[in-house]
Amino acid sequence: MASDRRATVIVTRPAAQSDALLARLHDAGFDTLEFPLINIAPVADDAPLCAVLDELYAPEPDCYALVVFVSPNAIDQAFSRMHAPWPADVPVAVVGPGSVAALARQGVSAATHRVISPSADDADPRFDSEALYTAIEASFGENGLEGRRVLIVCGNGGREWLAERMTEAGARVEKVAAYRRVLPEPSMQKWERIHALLAGAPHTWLLTSSEGVRNLDELAREHLTDDEIEALRRAPVVCPHPRITEAARQTGFDRMSVSGAGDERIVEAIDAMFPRTPGDAGAAPVNASVSTSVETPSATAPASQPEQPTARSAAYQPAQSSMTDSNDSKKDSPQPNVKPNSPNTPFTPYEQQAKKGGGASVVLLWFIVVLLAVAAGGGAFVLNRKFERHDAQFAQQVAQTDAQSAELRAKADQAASATAALNTQVIQLQGKLSDAEAHSQTLQQQYQDLASNRDDWTIAEVEQILSSASQQLQLTGNVQLALFALQSADERLAATTGAQVVTIRKAIAGDIDKLKATPSTDLTGLAIKLDTAIDQIDQLPLAGEAPIARARAQAAEPADSASVAAATGEPRWKVLWHQITAGIGQQLSSLVSVRRIDNADAMLTSPDQGYFVRENVKLRLLSARLSLLSRSEPTLKSDLKAADVALACYFDPASKKVQSVRDLVKAVDAASLAVSVPNLNASLAAVHQFKRGG
């Protein structure tokens, strides 16, 4: 039962790795609680492990010169993935006895293979990386591994000291992970046991790894109260190695004991931590053996021997009782020296029997009494001397133990001082590292800001170039200037990366293609034609002025008959007759004129109104000229159409001058199809979208 046990030992090894230790602790009178602080799990990807294990069977000189297993877990995980026995020519190095036993379970032992491990025969054996390296160096020599391949099979994380030291020695060290350590989550029943133990029950913690110490601290912060955490740190702790003790001290534990490697040493350390008491079940056999050795000389005394009331005999009274209990079976057996009285023998009083014996029997009796007294005194003296020697030896051992404890305290104080100094340096280094990280983040942010600002500046510059090019294109229609501006903007964007920048470049490329496909137009020549037409408007005859002008022209013709007769060779009178008759006919024809008039307003236009008609036509042509220069095709066509309608309605259609002006207007109208130019809206829209997205 738990109440009969000396204390409770909390074993924190990984699950299913403490069966032998638990059995030893149980035999020593301790109660146990398995509370794993590390779970061993296979690696997520075992392909690298299988690959290096296959290389063990490669021929020389490619094979590994040494394979180091850092723990029994590494051995079990590696051998579970091997499909052939371990090659006999490949040496194996392990840290401690547990790993040696694990190798033996896999069929690898010193009898058939070369197994290197720290020696367990030393007065104070150590089983760590430093001791293993010393054993390897002793086995291979100082430079025996120089230039040769060494494989270290380990778990995730762990110390790098052995690998670094072997690398410094010239070996080509390769590491492979065979398992990974996982932080377990103990059950609620185990936490209930922990709460009960921390409430005041005698217990101790067995911490077998530095990582387990850190995991215990992390789990305690999650599941224990502040008072329970304080009780945990005051609880006694047993560690197999000083390095684990140092980790426990840094975590906050203040009662640590170093046991050394091996289950036997651990049990001895825990046994010394909780001394046995007379009420313990395990103490009875020891006391019984002592009592037996002390009471053996008095077993031959006669039954009638009186008791000697000394302090020593009183002290060993329980042992006598135990011997009596063990000899109860002899009470019923007959005594060989006692003869039963015959039924016919008469009774003799005591006085008569004493007289019959005489003085010889009395002397003999007193002699025996004195002899027993002397023997008892000598035995007491001898026992006292033995006890005194034992007391002196015990006092000497206590003094030596005190001296060793003082020395250990001094070393512990020195180690604590060194640890404090190292902690101070670590804190300083952490502060410097934090400052460096802060500077790095600041520089990174500045770089990002600079890169972002550079992109923003480039986009802003491109937007300005595109806006100016668009304005110039709409005002002057200079396609070549706009094309040059777009090409310049594309070159600036070529140095900037990003999906939206690529979108802008695609839009600019589309606008460049549209500008290259735009036909060229002679705006100057069209403007000159409109200027020529405007200059001729004042000389064009109106439709109502045409008959009068022709009559005046006919009346103004010369009537020199002599020159006509000389020119034609006819008689002068005949020429004169023709002139007279022609004049009479013209006069008669001028009185009546028959014409078709489609626009009555043109005939009703007075000379004063004709001025305003001409000015209106000129204004239309001037507006058309401005529309041409501004490349406003709809306005240009509207003005040209209005001017042509006015010329057809209000001016003489038979006049060659009118026809010439109308031809100029129509020529400009026909060329106005190529006046409009494409815009740069696609490129500008892409730039605006980039700025909104930024």
In terms of residue numbers, what domain contains 89?
41-182
- Report if residue 93 sits inside a domain: yes
Residues 192, 165 share a domain: no
| Cα gap 665→92, rounded to integer Å | 107
- Using the predicted structure, report yes or no on whether residue 324 has a pLDDT greater than 70: no
pLDDT category, 593, cuts 50, 70, 90?
A: low
Strand order in the sheet with 31-34: 31-34, 8-11, 203-206, 237-239, 256-258
For residue range 392-429, list pLDDT tens digits in order.
Answer: 888 888 888 888 888 888 888 888 888 888 888 898 88
- Report if residue 491 sits inside a domain: no
pLDDT category, 92, cuts 50, 70, 90?
A: very high
| Cα gap 153→360, rounded to integer Å | 91
- Using the predicted structure, report yes or no on whether residue 132 has a pLDDT greater than 90: no
Residues 10, 115 share a domain: no
- Mind giving me the DSSP string for 167-229? HHTT-EEEEEEEEEEE-----HHHHHHHHHHHTT--EEEE---HHHHHHHHHHHHHHS-HHHH
Please tell me the total count of domains within the chain: 3
Residues 34, 65 share a domain: no
Residues 172, 117 share a domain: yes
Which CATH number do you get for residue 73?
3.40.50.10090
What's this model's pTM, rounded to 2 decimal places?
Answer: 0.38
Residues 60, 175 share a domain: yes
User: What Cα–Cα distance (Å) separates residue 204 from each residue in 9, 70, 200, 622?
Assistant: 5, 27, 12, 111
- Report if residue 479 sits inside a domain: no
How far from chain centre, in Å, is Cα 396? 59
Give backbone dihedrals phi and psi of 557, rounded to 5 degrees, phi first: -75, 145
- Report residue 126 as tokens: 């150590």
Cβ neighbours around 194 below 10 Å, total: 21
Those residues with Cβ within 8 angstroms of residue 62's Cβ, 6 or more apart along the chain or in another chain: 55, 149
Q: Which of 62-66, 347-351, 557-561 reaches the highest mean pLDDT?
A: 62-66
| Cα gap 564→509, rounded to integer Å | 78
- Report if residue 50 sits inside a domain: yes
Which residue, of 163, 182, 201, is where some domain finishes? 182
For the purposes of burial, counting CB atoms within 10 Å of the CB of 612, is it exposed (0-12), middle (13-18) or buried (19 or more)? exposed
Give backbone dihedrals phi and psi of 180, rounded to 5 degrees, phi first: -135, 145
Residue closest to 25 by CA, chosen among 7, 44, 40, 51: 7
For residue range 640-656, list pLDDT tens digits in order.
Answer: 888 888 888 888 888 88
How far from chain centre, in Å, is Cα 111? 47
How far from chain centre, in Å, is Cα 203? 40
Residues in the chain: 694
Residues 47, 174 share a domain: yes
Which residue, of 131, 164, 182, is where some domain finishes? 182
Asked whether the CA dihedral 511, 514, 520, 526 is positive or negative, the reply is negative
User: According to the model, what pLDDT value does residue 313 have?
Assistant: 32
User: According to the model, what pLDDT value does residue 200 have?
Assistant: 86
Those residues with Cβ within 8 angstroms of residue 299's Cβ, 6 or more apart along the chain or in another chain: 323
Residues 130, 82 share a domain: yes
For residue range 174-190, list pLDDT tens digits in order.
Answer: 888 888 888 888 888 98
Residues 171, 46 share a domain: yes
Percent of the chain with pLDDT over 70: 75
Residues 220, 198 share a domain: yes
- Report residue 96 as tokens: 């401690």
Bridge-based pairing state of the strands 203-206 and 8-11: parallel
Residues 257, 223 share a domain: yes
Cβ neighbours around 74 below 10 Å, total: 26
Which residue, of 572, 593, 614, is where some domain finishes? 593
Residues 172, 57 share a domain: yes
Give backbone dihedrals phi and psi of 66, rounded to 5 degrees, phi first: -160, 140
- Report if residue 416 sits inside a domain: no
- Mind giving me the DSSP string for 101-150? HHHHHTT--TTTS-EE---S-SSS---SHHHHHHHHHHHH-TTTTTT-EE
SS3 track for 320-376: HHHHHHHCHHHCCCCCCCCCCCCCCCCCCCHHHHHHHHHHHHHHHHHHHHHHHHHHH
Those residues with Cβ within 8 angstroms of residue 112's Cβ, 6 or more apart along the chain or in another chain: 88
- Report if residue 439 sits inside a domain: no
- Report if residue 23 sits inside a domain: yes
Cβ neighbours around 422 below 10 Å, total: 11
Give me the residue label for tokens 């387990």. Answer: 212
| Cα gap 571→577, rounded to integer Å | 10
- Report if residue 586 sits inside a domain: yes
> Letter for the amino acid at 281?
A
User: What Cα–Cα distance (Å) separates residue 132 from each residue in 93, 138, 285, 584?
Assistant: 8, 10, 41, 151
Mean pLDDT confidence for 570-595: 71
Mean pLDDT of the chain: 76
For the purposes of burial, counting CB atoms within 10 Å of the CB of 100, is it exposed (0-12), middle (13-18) or buried (19 or more)? buried
Residues 165, 194 share a domain: no
* pLDDT: which is higher, 511 or 298: 511
